[in-house]
């Protein structure tokens, strides 16, 4: 990321020659124990009596939710909570349509919402499902407070807050608002090349029947077809509950990051703004590693594979190679799988929390 330096984090362990399957739950468990077993043990002990609040800052589709959920899976499923502000806001649509839930929401907001937009206007905007009315930051704070009250006292990964510049200052006092006054907070910042986001979108494929999502380039299914007319490969859905439908691209995905370019710029400015703040520890995560130094920092199996296909008669072979992209500085880089990024998060959090 321009103007902010995210150092390359070394996950390669000298003398550890074993290869781990990072797509398998047991393989990931063994991997994390080998790469960060001591830090995981310390975090588990810490979470028996303590919590923390981590604000996830990264561009749209940078993997914030994936990293938080994997951290939860590896460290302590019962002591860690991932809260997606975006999902929470989207859930409001169903809440306001249900009379009982709506009544509960209005009662809660009447006691906890403090802001400049009248509550009646907010409810009217939710009723009309209007996307033109920007929900005020004060409402988001109240909604998150409600969400977390139900979650109990856990370590929190807040995904999607702050979302704009004025909310950065809100986040500094956020733990006071939610009753975590004595617990440390930390910014977890993610650097990801826009080329990675672009190709994640462009090559996305969705089953038209069950909505299962895959990626022709990055996450194929076991069965692949070839369209003779269009001269391109496609995937068949392998959801066991589905009927092996041909997967298709979502409308607009061919534009990649084009439609969200402005949003990505705002996200980058948010990270830069938060980076300048004093008094809040920062965990810096990179999704990529330069090609020319990769062998010194990561193992081959930690690099995201790129899949490509060869048609041999009636058979289609699925082949793979390390996924190479240009980062935002134009440096040839490998994109990393989620697991090594989470190893970096675990090790840095232990330092930030002084465990």
Provide the residue ranges of all domains of the chain, joining segments of one domain with +.
25-79+154-352
Token digits of residue 136: 């005020």
* Ramachandran bin of 326, using left for φ above 0, alpha for ψ from -120 to 50, beta for the remaining angles: beta
Do the Cβ atoms of 150 and 161 come closer than 8 Å?
no
- How far apart are alpha carbons 89 and 86 in whole angstroms? 5
From first to last of the 355 residues of the chain, give the pLDDT tens digit. Answer: 767 789 999 999 999 999 999 989 999 999 999 999 999 999 999 999 999 989 899 999 999 999 999 999 999 999 999 988 888 888 888 888 899 999 999 999 998 888 888 888 888 888 876 655 567 878 887 887 787 777 778 898 988 865 665 655 555 555 555 555 467 889 999 999 999 999 999 999 999 999 999 999 999 999 999 999 999 999 999 999 999 999 999 899 999 999 999 989 988 988 888 888 778 899 999 999 999 999 999 999 999 999 999 998 889 999 999 999 999 999 999 999 999 999 999 999 999 999 9
Q: What is the DSSP letter of 251?
A: T
* Ramachandran bin of 192, using left for φ above 0, alpha for ψ from -120 to 50, beta for the remaining angles: beta
- Nearest Cα neighbor of 183 from 54, 83, 51 is 51
* Ramachandran bin of 330, using left for φ above 0, alpha for ψ from -120 to 50, beta for the remaining angles: left
Q: Give 151's Cβ-side CA count (13 Å radius).
A: 24
Cα 95 from chain centre: 25
- How far apart are alpha carbons 163 and 86 in whole angstroms? 10
Token digits of residue 92: 């409001």
- How far apart are alpha carbons 193 and 306 in whole angstroms? 16
Domain 25-79+154-352's class?
alpha beta
- How far apart are alpha carbons 323 and 304 in whole angstroms? 6
Q: Does an H or E element contain 216, and which?
A: none
Q: Are strands 204-206 and 305-312 parallel, antiparallel or unpaired?
A: unpaired
Do the Cβ atoms of 224 and 316 come closer than 8 Å?
yes
């Amino acid at each position: 990321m321009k103007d902010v330096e995210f150092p390359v984090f070394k996950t390669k362990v000298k003398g550890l020659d074993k290869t781990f399957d990072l797509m398998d739950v047991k393989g990931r468990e063994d991997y994390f124990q080998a790469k960060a077993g001591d830090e995981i043990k310390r975090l588990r002990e810490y979470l028996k009596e303590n919590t923390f609040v981590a604000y996830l800052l990264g561009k749209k589709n940078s993997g914030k939710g994936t990293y938080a959920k994997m951290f939860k899976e590896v460290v302590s499923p019962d002591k860690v909570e991932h809260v997606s502000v975006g999902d929470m806001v989207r859930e409001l649509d169903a809440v306001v349509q249900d009379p009982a839930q709506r009544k509960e929401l209005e009662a809660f907001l009447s006691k906890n919402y403090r802001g400049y937009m009248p509550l009646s206007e907010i409810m009217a905007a939710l009723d009309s499902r209007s996307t033109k009315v920007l929900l005020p930051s004060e409402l988001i704070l109240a909604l998150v407070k409600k969400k977390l009250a139900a979650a109990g006292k856990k370590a929190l990964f807040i995904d999607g807050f702050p979302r704009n510049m004025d909310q950065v200052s809100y986040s500094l006092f956020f733990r006071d608002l939610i009753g975590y006054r004595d617990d440390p907070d930390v910014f977890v910042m993610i650097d990801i090349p826009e080329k990675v986001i672009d190709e994640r979108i462009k090559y996305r494929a969705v089953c038209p029947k069950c909505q299962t999502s895959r990626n022709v380039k990055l996450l194929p299914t076991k069965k692949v077809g070839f369209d003779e007319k269009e001269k391109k490969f496609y995937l068949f859905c392998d959801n066991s509950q589905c009927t092996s439908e041909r997967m298709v691209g979502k409308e607009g995905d061919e534009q990649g990051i084009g439609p969200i370019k402005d949003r990505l710029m705002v996200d980058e400015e948010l990270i830069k703004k938060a980076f300048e703040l004093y008094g809040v520890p920062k965990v810096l995560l990179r999704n990529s590693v330069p090609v020319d130094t990769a062998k010194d920092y990561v193992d081959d199996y930690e690099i995201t594979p790129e899949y490509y296909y060869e048609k041999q008669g009636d058979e289609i072979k699925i082949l793979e190679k390390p996924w190479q992209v240009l980062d935002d500085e134009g440096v040839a880089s490998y994109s990393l799988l989620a697991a090594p990024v989470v190893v970096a998060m675990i090790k840095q959090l232990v330092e930030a929390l002084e465990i």
